[in-house]
Each structure stands twice: as C-alpha cells, then as structure tokens.
C-alpha cells in the first residue's frame, strides 16, 4: 500500500514537472536565453545520467533475459515475433501518415517564402550498410559509443555463450545477475529525480519554439499529431487487447510515465528504464521485456514513420509534385526500412527523412521547411515510438505464455 502510494506520487510529480516546464517556458519566451543558459544544463545532466546507465542496463538485462529463457530456440521464436510485430505496425503507421496527410491536404495554404530552402542532407546510410553495421568488429567500442544495435548483438552472443558453456558458465551468469541488479538500483535512483529532469528538458524547448516558429506550420503539426493519436489508439489498443486481454485504459494508464518522459526527452533510448518498469507492471515478464524493448528502442519507430509519411506529402504538395500510388507504396517501404536505421535519440528521424524523400525523387531541401518545428514533431513521434515498443513486449509475452501453457497441457 505504502509502496503504491509512493509510486503514484512520482507520476504526479513528473506531471507537475512537465506542466511547470511548459508554463515557465511560455513565460520565458522573450528571454529564451535564460532557459537555454541556466535550465537546459540541468536537463542535459539528467539525460547524461540516463544515457550513462542505459548501456549497462540493456547489456546486462538482455544477457540475463537470455540466460533465464534457457533455450536458444525460444529466443529465436520471440525474436521473430517481435520483428514481425515491429515491421507490420510500422508499415501501418506510414500508411496512416500518408492517408491523413492526403485527406487533410497538409500542404494547402502554406506559402513558400524566399530563402527558405537551404538544407544539405547529411548522407543517410544505405540499407545494406545498416545491416552490416549491426555486427560489431569490436566488443568494447559499441558499449563506449552506446551503439545500441551492436550492444544487443554482443549481449545475444554472450547470453548464448553462457548457456552453451553449461556448468562452466554459471559464474559468468551469476556475475551478470548481480551486476544487473546493481544497474537497476542505479536506474531507480536516477528515475527518482525525473520530475526535475522533465521540467528542465521541456522548459527550454517551449521557450525557444514560440508562435513565430509554430504558426505557419500548424497544419503539419496537427496532421502529424492526429496520425500519432489514431495510430496509438487503434493499433496498440487493439493488439494489446487481442493478445493479452489488457484493456486500452489500463494499458495507457500504465504507460503514462514512459510517455511523459518520451515527450520531454524525445529519446526512445532514454525512455528504456521507464519502459522496462511500466511493461513489467503491466504483466510482461522481465526476460521478455528486457529483450523486446531495447530492440524496439533501436529499430521500431512508428511515430517516426508517421512523421515521414506526413512530411513527404507536405513537401510534395508545396512543390506541386503529384505522387502516384506506386510512389506512395515506395514511401511505405522506405519509411519502414528508414525507421530501422533511425537511432533512438532526438532529431534522428529528420536525418532519415532524406532517404525517404530521395526514394521517390522529392527535393531533400524541403526538409528545411520542417526543420524549425522538428523538436515539436519529435516529442510526439517519440511517445508513439516507445508506446509501440511496450505494446509489442506485452503482445509477444502474452503469445509466449499461451504457447507455453499449450505445451504444458500437451505434456501433462
């Protein structure tokens, strides 16, 4: 009782931090430098602490998860289900983005000003490079650079190695177990200061994104957010309900904390500790969540896919380019692949947008038009990204539990 009281109050504290951050940000709009010089560093320290603990948590919790699954084939079947869920929901997400952007005529009414078009796209990696880059040539550098996909691969190999080593791997397994617990405790300490962290992250964003930046692109923001909300409500509610029986209300209520943190930090990777906690409270087993979520924070970006669909149509409309049906299908494919290559850090979806635009011959310079509001779009898409990861963890866990129950029944 005591414990749950305390937890509710932390969520409330984070909400207060978020609301206060927005209010103070609005008040500081004419003195945005106060927010960026004095408040932003606190947010940066907080985000640094989260980033510091994310690599040990992901590495150790995946290894620990694999050891407790005990069976390489089982890891494989969970992995396949996870990837199928991620790819299908992302394809649905881009489609939703495209449909709403087309119906709501996202580019209508926007007047292209002079000198607005100077964006040099930094080269997005090709699909093959993305695949090759998953496999590290060094077991330490990815940990130092927090290259999450590579960290996951290292964790998988060590996990499998420990299982295959049998008795001789027991000590390694115990060491992992012990350090994993230590990292979770560190994570809890950091989470306790989230109300302050959330305040300090959101305040400078609001202070420096005043009406002058937002108003001309209000329609893009509106269409993207409609897409985000529709996707979250329809896709996640229905899959979570269908596979695990959890009601949409319970699911979203359980997700409030990670969603708020995603909104203020715009970093899927930073949200991982919150997401691990929330999904387990919603009933997902730790060994499944600690495998599915880090993978999702790295490759599953439904919100980013919606944003890319909306921006592609916006840029096409502004430049008076008619996109054929087949070109829109190409966008679905490239945006789904681009989401795999999008890192779970602020702003990376905008870099991958270049790849999507290029795939259908749209002018990359168009990104300059939406760059000014990227943070606002990023906050929403990150919320969707991490909610998708959590929904997948719950669904895959439920599927696996059913499979186990069936097997036990047959065996019994």
Segment near ligand ASP (CB under 6 A), from 137-145, 224-232, 311-319, 376-384? 376-384
228-to-47, 130, 308 alpha-carbon distances in Å:
24, 26, 12
Tell the smallest beta-carbon distance from residue 271 to ligand ASP (Å).
8
Segment near ligand ASP (CB under 6 A), from 55-63, 224-232, 263-271, 360-368? 263-271
Binding of residue 147 to ligand ASP (CB under 6 A): no
Please provide the DSSP assignment of 151-216 as one string. Answer: HHHHHHHHHHHHHHTGGGGHHHHHHHHHHHHHHHHHHHHHHHTHHHHHHHHHHHHHHHS-HHHHGG
- Which of 154/301 has CB closer to ligand ASP? 301
- Which of 246/311 has CB closer to ligand ASP? 311
Pairwise CA distance, residues 10 & 3, whole Å: 11
Binding of residue 375 to ligand ASP (CB under 6 A): no
- Which of 147/342 has CB closer to ligand ASP? 342
- Which of 256/399 has CB closer to ligand ASP? 256
Determine which residue in the list 194, 209, 244, 268 makes contact with ligand ASP, applying CB under 6 A. 268
How many residues line the site for ligand ASP (CB under 6 A)?
16
Q: Please give the residues from 332 up to 361 whose contact with ligand ASP meets the rule CB under 6 A.
A: 342, 344-349
C-beta of residue 387 within 8 angstroms of C-beta of residue 236: yes
Tell the smallest beta-carbon distance from residue 94 to ligand ASP (Å).
13
Binding of residue 266 to ligand ASP (CB under 6 A): yes
In whole angstroms, what separates CA 60 from the centre of its chain? 20
Determine which residue in the list 267, 290, 298, 387 makes contact with ligand ASP, applying CB under 6 A. 267
Q: Is 53 helix (H, G, I), strand (E, B) or coil?
A: helix
Please provide the DSSP assignment of 352-402 as one string. Answer: HHHHHHHHTT--GGGHHHHHTTHHHHHHHHHHHHHHHHHHHHHHHHHHHHH
In whole angstroms, what separates CA 59 from the centre of its chain? 18
Burial class of residue 9 in the structure, from the number of CB atoms within 10 Å of its CB (0-12 exposed, 13-18 middle, 19+ buried):
exposed
Determine which residue in the list 277, 378, 397, 400 makes contact with ligand ASP, applying CB under 6 A. 378
Residues that bind ligand ASP (CB under 6 A): 266-268, 301, 304, 342, 344-349, 378, 381-382, 385
């Amino acid at each position: 009782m005591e414990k749950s009281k305390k937890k509710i109050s932390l969520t409330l504290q984070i909400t207060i931090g978020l609301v206060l951050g927005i209010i103070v940000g609005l008040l500081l709009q004419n003195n945005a430098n106060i927010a960026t010089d004095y408040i932003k560093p606190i947010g940066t320290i907080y985000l640094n602490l989260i980033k510091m603990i994310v690599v040990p948590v992901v590495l150790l919790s995946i290894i620990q998860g694999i050891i407790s699954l005990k069976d390489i084939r089982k890891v494989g079947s969970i992995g396949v289900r996870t990837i199928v869920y991620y790819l299908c929901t992302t394809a649905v997400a881009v489609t939703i983005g495209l449909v709403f952007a087309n119906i709501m005529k996202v580019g209508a009414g926007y007047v292209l000003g002079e000198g607005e078009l100077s964006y040099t796209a930094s080269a997005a990696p090709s699909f093959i490079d993305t695949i090759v880059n998953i496999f590290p040539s060094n077991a330490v550098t990815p940990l130092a650079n927090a290259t999450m996909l590579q960290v996951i691969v290292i964790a998988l190999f060590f996990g499998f190695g420990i299982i295959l080593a049998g008795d001789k791997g027991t000590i390694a397994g115990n060491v992992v177990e012990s350090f994993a617990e230590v990292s979770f405790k560190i994570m809890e300490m950091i989470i306790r200061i989230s109300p302050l962290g959330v305040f300090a992250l959101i305040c400078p964003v609001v202070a420096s994104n005043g009406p002058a930046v937002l108003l001309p692109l209000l329609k893009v923001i509106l269409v993207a957010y409609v897409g985000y909300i529709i996707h979250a409500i329809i896709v996640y509610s229905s899959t979570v309900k269908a596979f695990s029986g959890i009601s949409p209300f319970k699911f979203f209520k359980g997700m409030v904390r990670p969603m708020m943190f995603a909104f203020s930090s715009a970093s899927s990777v930073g949200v991982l500790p919150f997401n691990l906690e929330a999904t387990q409270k919603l009933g997902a087993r730790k060994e499944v969540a600690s495998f599915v979520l880090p993978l999702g924070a790295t490759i599953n970006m439904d919100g980013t896919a919606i944003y890319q669909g909306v921006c592609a149509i916006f840029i096409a409309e502004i430049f008076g380019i008619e996109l054929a049906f087949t070109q829109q299908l190409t966008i679905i494919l490239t945006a789904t692949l681009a989401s795999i290559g999008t890192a779970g850090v602020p702003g990376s979806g905008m870099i991958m947008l270049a790849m999507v635009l290029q795939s259908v011959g749209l002018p990359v310079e168009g990104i300059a038009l939406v760059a000014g509001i990227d943070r606002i779009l990023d906050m929403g898409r990150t919320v969707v990204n991490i909610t998708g990861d959590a929904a997948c963890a719950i669904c895959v866990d439920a599927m696996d539990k059913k499979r186990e129950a069936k097997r036990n029944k047959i065996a019994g």
